[in-house]
Structure 1
Amino acid sequence: MISKSTLQKASDKNIINKDQIEPLYQFIVNEQSKDYSENKEEPLKFIRSFGDVFIALGIILLVVSINMTSLSGYYYLLPAAGFIVIAEWLVRVRRLALPGMVILLSILFFINKAFSFDNENATVLGLSVISLSSLLFYLRYKMPFSLLPLAGSLVSMTIIQIGMDALKNPVIFMLLGLITFSIAMWFDSRDTKRQSHLSDSAFWLHLLAAPLIVHGAMLSMISSEQVWVQSFSNDILMIIFFACFFLIALFVDRRAMLVSTQLYAIYALTQLLQSDFIGSQNVMIYVLMALGMFVIFFGTYWYKTRHIVFGILSGSKVSQYVPDFEIQDTK
């Protein structure tokens, strides 16, 4: 999208009149909104060309090379500072998303190696440094990916503070996922056209929220001793849960939720392959198998399905917080 500053530069060179800047900018915004309504496919905004991949690989090569040197202790802050300088050029000026993501991870890697904590709170302190660094990176460069390590470190810190109770009560994972999901929806509701960094920020939070919710819910259903849970069979509960989860993802128009759920499902299956297929585990295998086929089909007809299921809500008050349910192109 052409920014208003670009149009201002065109005006300074007498390519367009100064009075044309605002009308032309609004026209471009409206046309982009129409393109979204017609195509509605979520673009991969974190990669624009093979050049981004080329630069990202160069950064990874540099990180591996530096890590093989004899640096130790606080000397690791030197390459971290160097990557911050690189970020000023590639992220703040060039606005390269994929290289920016690799740069952030590189900075977090070297900062984590620079600080060594010799007490029982080492992990929490390390995660605190990571979360603070990610927050500062986000505030400086407005790079949406920064929210993923920020939220991930905060969730990890919370689970560590809770301790073994978090493992005994998987509903805690689900609650943390719901909190993350709520924050993601706060970003999403302020950019229903999916045009700014707010929507991109929500994308990364949805990627984290979904597996937390699924993990907590599935473990709760499998291991719960609650009477109301035991009165239903696990297969029925799982089918109901995944059906509701799919409807929520469809309603908010976030396939990212299903993507991270599929990644979690692959992980769950690899764990099940290492154990005996008995009881509820058998049910999980078939449910995840059905989920895979389900996603393949509806991935092709996502917006048609969304229009059929939620089209009746178009124009309602609740539709103001999510992308439009109408479709322009029915091909």
Structure 2
Amino acid sequence: MSTITTGPSAPAEEDTSSSAARWASSLLRSVGGQNVSLIGALAVVLVLFGSLNDNYLGWNNIQGIGEAITIMGLLTVVQTVVIICGGLDVSVGSQAGLASVVSAMAFTSTGSNALLGMGAAIGIGAFAGLLNGLIIVYGRVNPVIATLAGLAAYKGIAQLISDGRAQGYVLNDSIFIFLGRGKVAGLPVMVWILILVALGVHVLLKYTDIGRNVYAIGGNDTAARLAGININKYLVCVYILIGAVSAVAGILLTARTGSGQPVSGSEGLELKAITAAALGGCVLKGGKGGIGGIILAVALLGALENGLTVQGINAFWQNVAQGALLVVAVVIQQRRNGERAVGLPA
């Protein structure tokens, strides 16, 4: 005769469900609500355009998206650093265009020496960043105004030295070919460069005293100054970093297109970088932001732009979508921070 044992199973089920809820809550906290939203939006974009075009989710197109977002991604990563620090740089696109021209012209003038061409580009980029930083810190000029002047000046210099035309031809050089078209472990070299730069900046911000000081300056510059942080030095160094990485983006632009581009390929990158930074969780008044959300935002913008292009939608609509995304990102930030609307009672 068998004995049937009965007992309360509800508590066990409740324990299981509460454990799952705690696990989900812990996962959400570690990933971040902002990043979860970006992952969801990216999934929607991929599924939508994948259902409209069979080739959209193909490996070749995915690699193409990766290559297309690399230059914007590099500029967004360093834009994130300066935004966290409480500043802004709207001249990154012009700096990339100037570096692109310099890399190609130095390459051809030095007997096709790729390393000298790249070194000259990074040098001019770092100098442009240094100039921006000095104007902002010691000229006491608002960062937006100072870098807006840089946007016009660096673009003008690039056009002057190139006569407004593409310069040189670099695709007869193995180094430029490797940078622009090479692959490592199945991924384009350009994508690997973005990954390495993003990881480096992530480690810098999250695990070093330098990163903690950058957050402190953006969060409360008065408290940071009283804590003994040399704010002027940090700001100048941040703008030098932006210039150097913008130059790397310019070198990749040269490698990808085969020649130095004074404007084409770099114009409008500053707006894309700011949009991606805002979407990725950077608070534009400083003190908050991270690289994980930035990479997701860059991927989202790249997937959306590629999908619109694949569907044959007018490129002008991409600008409309980009502007709308920037407004949405800033509105969400304002709501999350509990800031009252301008001109309305709290």
Return the TM-score normalized by structure 1.
0.31
Return the TM-score normalized by structure 2.
0.30
Taking CA–CA contacts closer than 8 Å with sequence separation of 6 or more, which of the two structures ends up with the larger relative contact order?
2
